[in-house]
Amino acid sequence: MEGYQADMTEAEGSAERQYTTRRDQARVTLEALDRRSALLANLRTFAFVAFLVLLGLVIFDKLPRVALLGSFGSLAAYVVLAVVHARVIGQESREKVRKSLNERGLERLGGGWHKFPEKGAAHLPDGHLYATDLDLLGQGSLFQRLDDTGTKAGEAQLARWLLTAAPTASEVRERQGAVKELLHQLDFRQALVIEARLAGQDKADPSRFIAWTEAPSFLGSIRWAWVVAHLFPVFTLGAGLSAAFFDTSALPFWIGTAIQLGVVRLTQTPINRMWTALTSGDQGFVRFEETFAAIDRQTFTHPRLVALKAGVQGGGPTVSERLAKFARLMGFAELKNSGQMHPVINVLTLWDLHVLFRVEAWRAEHGRGVRGWFDALAQLEALSAFAGYAFERPDDVFPEVLDDGFVLEARGLGHPLLDKPVRNDVTLSGPGQALIITGSNMSGKTTLMRTMGLSTVMALAGLPVTASAFRVGRTQVLTSMRVKDSLERGVSYFYAEVQRIKLLLDTSRANPNACLFLLDELFMGTNAKERTLASKHLLRELLSLGAAGAVTTHDLALCELEQELTGKTRNVHFRDLIVEGEMTFDYTLRPGIVTTTNALEVLRRAGVVVTS
C-alpha cells in the first residue's frame, strides 16, 4: 500500500511562512498605494481648479486668450491624472483581496475556518447518501474548510466533486496529478481568485450570462433595421451639416430625423427586451477578461491542466481578448443609461441599433463557447481549492485508488477536520467484511466511522487524506448516523431510520461488492430484543450483498456475529480510563470487545446520580 506525500521543498517553505510573507508584502504595498492615491487626488484637485481659474480669468479678460492653452492643458492633466488614479485604485483593490486571501490562509491553518461564511449548504440535495453524516457541507464542514473559489460556478463544481465520486480511478488520478502541479503554483492560484473576486462584490454567477449567450436572437425580427441604421444616419447628418455650412435646405435633415424617430419607435420593443436580458446577464462578466488572462499567462505540464487551458482558448483570439471586446461593446451600449444624452444621440445616429447589432454579432460568433469557458474555469477553481488544501497539509498523502474490487486499507488514519486527531490503522481487505465497534460513550466510535467515510469521499474526489498510507477501491459510501424524525411529515425516529436503512439496502443491491456502509447505533427507537434481531439481520443482508463497513453499538449481543460469521466480522473497541478520579480517553482502536462502560459516570459528572 503506497501513498504520494505532498512534500514541500525547503526553497518554498511552509504554507504559514508563505502566507505571512505575502500578507506582510500586501500591507506594505497598500500603504505605498494609499500615499500615492492621496497625492494623485490632491494633484487632480489642483489641476481642475487651475483649469477653472485660468478659464474664468480669460472669460473676464483678466488674462490674454493665449492663457486658454494653460487652461486646457490643466484639463488634459486632470484627465491623465484621473486615469492614473483609477489604475492606482484598481491596484489597491487587488492588494486588499491579496491581503485577505493570505489572512484567510493563516486562519485556516490556525483553525479559524469555522467562521468562514461559505458553507455550501445550498448545494446539499435532500436524502443524500452520506453528505450530512460526514459533514461534507454546512457549518464545520469539509466544504467550509476547502472553499476558496471566486465564482458561483467554481463553488458548485467543488460541491459536486465532494457529493459525487469520480466516475473512474483514472479520473481520480488525473485530478491528483493536476492538484500536485497546482500545489506549488501559489501565485497562479491566488491570481485566479483575486481577479474573480474583483469582478463582483459577491461571488459572480455566470449562469445568467451563459443563458443570454445561448438564448435565441432578440433582434431577428428587425434585421431590416441593420441596413437602415447604416444608411439613414449618414444621409440625415450629411443633410444637417450641409444646411449648417452651405445654406442648403434643412428639409432633408428633418425628413431623415423623422424617419429615424419612426425606426426607433418600431424597434423599441426588441431593443429593450435585449437590453434587459443583456444587463441582467452581464453582472460584471465583462470584467472577467483578467481572470482568463491569468490562465493565458500560466504554463501547465499536466495533461488535465493543459486541456482545461485549451478549453478557455481554442482557436483564434484568447477568451480574455474576446471578453475585452465584449467589454468595449458594453461600454458603448451603456450610453442607454444616460437619460438626457441618449434619446438625442440615438435618434440622430440610431446608436442602439449600431451597438446592439454588434453585440449580437459577438454572441453569434462566441456564444456557443461561453459555457465551455466557464466550465473549464470552474474546474480550475475546484482543482485550485484542492491544491490549496494539499499545500496547507504537506503531511497528508494522495491515496491509491483502485477501479476494481473493494478494499479500504489505512495506516495512521486521522480525521481531516480535527486539529490534532488521534490516528488509527483500519483495514477492510475485501467485500463482505465489517467492523463491529464497541466502546464507552465519547470514546471515539462515531468519529472513527466519520473518519473512514470522509477520507474515502476525499480519496474518490482526488484530495489527499490524513494518513501515512491509504488504499481504497471505488466504492459507494452509505451512512446512517444522524437520522432525524419529522413532526411536519409525521415520521417517528424509528420509521425515519427504517426508511434510511431501506435506501441503503436498495443501493447495496444495485451496487454489489461496491458499497461502504457506516452505521451508528442501529434501531435505537425500539426495544433491546428487537434491536438485536433487526441489527443482526441487517448486517447479514449487507454482508451477503458484498457490502463492507462498520457499525457502532452498545449491544454486546451484536458482537456474537464474529463467531456466527467467521471471517466476515471483527470486534474492535475503544475504551475510557479513570485516572485519579478523572475520566479520560486515548481514542485508540483495539481488537476485541469493550469490557468497561461509563454511562453512570457520565450521568454523575453531569449532576445526575443514579442509585441502585
- What distance in Å separates the CA atoms of residue 17 and residue 5, rounded to the nearest whole number? 20
- What distance in Å separates the CA atoms of residue 556 and residue 553, rounded to the nearest whole number? 7
Instruction: Give the rounded percent of residues in the chain with a pLDDT score beyond 70.
Output: 91
- What distance in Å separates the CA atoms of residue 78 and residue 76, rounded to the nearest whole number? 5
What pLDDT shows up at residue 4?
40
Whether 129 has a pLDDT exceeding 80, the answer reads: yes
Mean pLDDT over residues 370-383, rounded?
Answer: 93
- What distance in Å separates the CA atoms of residue 239 and residue 181, rounded to the nearest whole number? 65
What pLDDT shows up at residue 3?
46
pLDDT digits (tens, 9 = 90+) for 534-590: 889 999 999 999 999 999 998 888 999 999 988 899 999 998 876 666 777 889 999
Whether 9 has a pLDDT exceeding 50, the answer reads: no
Q: How confident is the model at residue 472 (pLDDT cuts 50, 70, 90)?
A: very high
Query: What mean pLDDT is reported for the chain?
Result: 87
- What distance in Å separates the CA atoms of residue 473 and residue 456, rounded to the nearest whole number? 9
What pLDDT shows up at residue 575?
86
Mean pLDDT over residues 204-233, rounded?
Answer: 88
Per the structure block, which three cell numbers stand in for 171?
479520473
Three-class secondary structure assignment of 288-357: HHHHHHHHHHCCCCCHHHHHHHHHCCCCCCCHHHHHHHHHHHHHHHHHHHCCCHHHHHHHHHCHHHHHHH
- What distance in Å separates the CA atoms of residue 122 and residue 124, rounded to the nearest whole number? 6
- What distance in Å separates the CA atoms of residue 24 and residue 179, rounded to the nearest whole number? 27
Whether 490 has a pLDDT exceeding 50, the answer reads: no
What pLDDT shows up at residue 485?
45
Enumerate the β-bridge partners of residue 548. Answer: 516
Q: How confident is the model at residue 284 (pLDDT cuts 50, 70, 90)?
A: low
Q: Where in 387-529 does DSSP place strands (E)?
A: 397-398, 400-402, 408-413, 424-428, 434-438, 469-473, 476-480, 515-520
Q: How confident is the model at residue 190 (pLDDT cuts 50, 70, 90)?
A: very high
DSSP-derived secondary structure for 544-579: HTT-EEEEE-S-GGGGGHHHHTTTTEEEEE--EEEE
Contact in structure between 101 and 190 (CB atoms under 8 Å): yes
Per the structure block, which three cell numbers stand in for 225?
433595421
Whether 282 has a pLDDT exceeding 70, the answer reads: no
- 3-state DSSP assignment of residue 21: helix
What pLDDT shows up at residue 515?
95
The listed range with the strongest mean pLDDT (331-335, 460-464, 550-554, 591-595) is 460-464
Range 274-277, long-range pairs (CB < 8 A, 24+ positions): 274/218, 274/219, 274/356, 274/359, 274/360, 275/333, 275/336, 275/352, 275/356, 277/212, 277/215, 277/218
pLDDT digits (tens, 9 = 90+) for 324-339: 899 889 888 888 877 6
Q: Return the biggest CA–CA distance within the chain.
A: 118
pLDDT digits (tens, 9 = 90+) for 343-364: 888 898 999 999 999 999 999 9
Direct distance between the N- and C-terminal alpha carbons of the chain, in angstroms, rounded to an integer:
52
- 3-state DSSP assignment of residue 409: strand
CA distances from 491 to 480, 481, 486, 522, 526 (A): 16, 17, 5, 17, 15
- What distance in Å separates the CA atoms of residue 104 and residue 26, rounded to the nearest whole number? 13
Which of 103 and 598 is assigned the larger pLDDT? 103
Mean pLDDT over residues 40-69, rounded?
Answer: 88
Least confident of 94-98, 432-436, 498-502: 498-502
Q: Is residue 167 packed enough to be buried (19+ CB in 10 Å), middle (13-18) or exposed (0-12)?
A: exposed
Which of 585 and 77 is assigned the larger pLDDT? 77
Whether 214 has a pLDDT exceeding 80, the answer reads: yes
Q: What is the CA radius of gyration of the chain?
A: 33
Whether 607 has a pLDDT exceeding 70, the answer reads: no
pLDDT digits (tens, 9 = 90+) for 429-453: 999 999 999 988 788 899 999 999 9
Contact in structure between 400 and 2 (CB atoms under 8 Å): yes
Q: How confident is the model at residue 471 (pLDDT cuts 50, 70, 90)?
A: very high
Whether 12 has a pLDDT exceeding 50, the answer reads: no
